Amino acid sequence: MKNIPVVMVIFGGSGDLAHRKLYPALYNLYEQGLIHDNFAVIGTARRPWSHEYLRSQVSDAIHETHDKVDENEVKNFTSHFYYQSHDVTNVEHYETLKKLAQDLDEHYNAQGNRLFYMAMAPRFFGTIATHINDQHLTGNGFNRIVVEKPFGRDLASAEELNKQITASFKEDDIFRIDHYLGKEMIQNIIPLRFSNWIFKNSWNKENIKNIQVTLAERLGVEARGGYYETSGALRDMVQNHIFQVITLLAMPEPESLKDNDIHKAKQELLDSLIIPNEEEIKKHFVRGQYAGSDTTFAYKKEPNVDENSTTETFAAGLVKFKKGPVADVPIYFRTGKEFKEKKNRIDIVFKNCHSLYGQVKHDVLTIEFDPTSSITLTINGKKITGEGLRQENLTYAFSKEEMAQVPDGYERLLHDVFVNDSTNFTHWGELKRYWQFIDAIEDAWQKENEKGQANIAQYPPYRMGPKEANNIFESPTEHWIYE
């Protein structure tokens, strides 16, 4: 693998994401030779750590995620790490950071390449981008920036943030990261759709009845009530993860597998995204909050949550496109906290054929991407004894050994940033369309709140969300496949 010279700056170097995901991922890329002799990583945060202390933290992060490591390799790797105490709101601190980056660039011969990673609370993203620009932190080689989610909290704030970032970075150098796009089965959607005759030729409105995307979480908001109150399920899960998955499922075949062609196909689809009106939102969208039980808190009783909160912990709805292979096909989604189990899955429901057997069950292609990775085709077959048909599953699942080889999403995505492959990152044009859709729903819900007509279904914890979500379908012959 090519060795990429670079000085990487991680804003939020003492945070959870850096510790659990970024440091182990960087170590694996170092082991593969993608970064080796000519790199340095500067971790920044306010607390007064030393270089040595950061190195010990990075070493701990590697030991926590790897069964066996070569201690010499770990030592060599961590020797490339430097800590800079830095408050992102303090202009003077950027001077010190710039000087350190320049010195390290010279020391490691990093050829003026810079990679900035915003691993901090989103409210700081704009400030950091502005200071990178004003204080000239960029180098004279490549300059790339990775921005964590959420990118804005509506279209207006996303536009503002984008303006701040594009002051220093070209669109092609902005990597808006969504770790769902690093998941094995999500990366398998394009090969599945476009390398199999049966799917390539049946993935269209003539054959598909509907598509269903479920991102169910077992946990409640736990200690994150304060943050969640500013977000809700729609902004936290639908605006990014669910829309990314839907885009991959509905986009036309790209001209090639190059990142530009994939983004072109996505944009073509998203330009035809139908933004629902208030009437449609009333009919096909549901919001909910988990209610308490004898042993669990209701959302409204969680710490740092307003007891009159209208923030949704569950959202379900309908997405449709005017163009693309599944134009006009209903794509339903639902996501929520305190479901009966953690389950991320996609169900492609095929139409009923006119059959000699009368009414038969739909064929369903199910792609599960969490907690396990599998693809299952559910089909009809003969019963061994007696009359009629039974449903059978054809499953392509990974063995434990194969699962162990699957790289973490962050490792994959960081690798892509180093090699400048933007396939699995969100372009601005795509993000803009996602926000336009989300804003329409948020506005309609806000209007209901203001009229005192907020319709927020309270649902029992650890089941399947609110029963109202069973009524969002366009036709009475449709229902959730995963129940």
Shortest reach from residue 279's CB to ligand NAP, in Å: 34
| Type of residue numbered 448 | E
12 binds ligand NAP (CB under 6 A): yes
Show contacts with ligand NAP in window 139-198 (CB under 6 A): 148-149, 179
Q: Where are the beta strands (DSSP E) in 80-190?
A: 81-85, 114-118, 143-147, 174-176
**CB closer to ligand NAP out of 45 and 115:** 45
Identify the residue whose tokens are 């089909």: 379
Cα distance between residue 113 and residue 8, in whole Å: 8
- Rounded to the nearest 5°, which phi and psi values hold at 265? -65, -40
* Residue count, binding to ligand NAP (CB under 6 A): 21
Show contacts with ligand NAP in window 73-112 (CB under 6 A): 86-89
Question: Which of 26, 97, 119, 129 touches ligand NAP by CB under 6 A?
Answer: 119
Question: Which of 42, 120, 237, 248 touches ligand NAP by CB under 6 A?
Answer: 120
DSSP string, 314-368: EEEEEE-BSSSTTTT--EEEEEESSBSS-EEEEEEEEPPPP-TTSS-PPPEEEEE
Shortest reach from residue 131's CB to ligand NAP, in Å: 11
Q: Is 25 left (phi over 0), alpha (psi -120 to 50) or beta?
A: alpha
Interface region with ligand NAP, contact rule CB under 6 A, candidates 114-122, 249-257, 379-387, 467-475: 114-122
**CB closer to ligand NAP out of 276 and 409:** 409
Shortest reach from residue 16's CB to ligand NAP, in Å: 3
Interface region with ligand NAP, contact rule CB under 6 A, candidates 9-17, 67-75, 183-191, 337-345: 9-17
Catalytic residue among 93, 241, 263, 427: 241
16 binds ligand NAP (CB under 6 A): yes
224 binds ligand NAP (CB under 6 A): no
360 binds ligand NAP (CB under 6 A): no
Q: Note if 241 is an active site residue.
A: yes
Residue nearest to ligand NAP (CB): 15
- Rounded to the nearest 5°, which phi and psi values hold at 124? -95, -10
17 binds ligand NAP (CB under 6 A): yes
Q: Spell out, one character per residue from 31 to 60, where the chain touches ligand NAP: x when CB under 6 A holds, - when not.
A: --------------xxx-------------
Interface region with ligand NAP, contact rule CB under 6 A, candidates 8-16, 98-106, 202-210, 302-310: 8-16
225 binds ligand NAP (CB under 6 A): no
What is the DSSP secondary structure assignment for residue 475, as one 8-state letter?
S
**CB closer to ligand NAP out of 238 and 331:** 238
Contact 61, 23 (CB under 8 A): yes
**CB closer to ligand NAP out of 1 and 91:** 91
What is the DSSP secondary structure assignment for residue 382, as one 8-state letter?
E
Q: How far is CA 282 from CA 17, 240, 375, 444, 450, in A?
A: 38, 22, 33, 9, 16
Q: How far is CA 62 from CA 19, 31, 79, 149, in A?
A: 9, 12, 14, 24
401 binds ligand NAP (CB under 6 A): no
Shortest reach from residue 36's CB to ligand NAP, in Å: 26
Cα distance between residue 228 and residue 249, in whole Å: 28
End-to-end CA distance of the chain: 45
Cα distance between residue 140 and residue 124, in whole Å: 25
Q: Which chain residues interact with ligand NAP by CB under 6 A?
A: 12-17, 20, 45-47, 86-89, 119-122, 148-149, 179
**Which amino acids are annotated catalytic?**
241
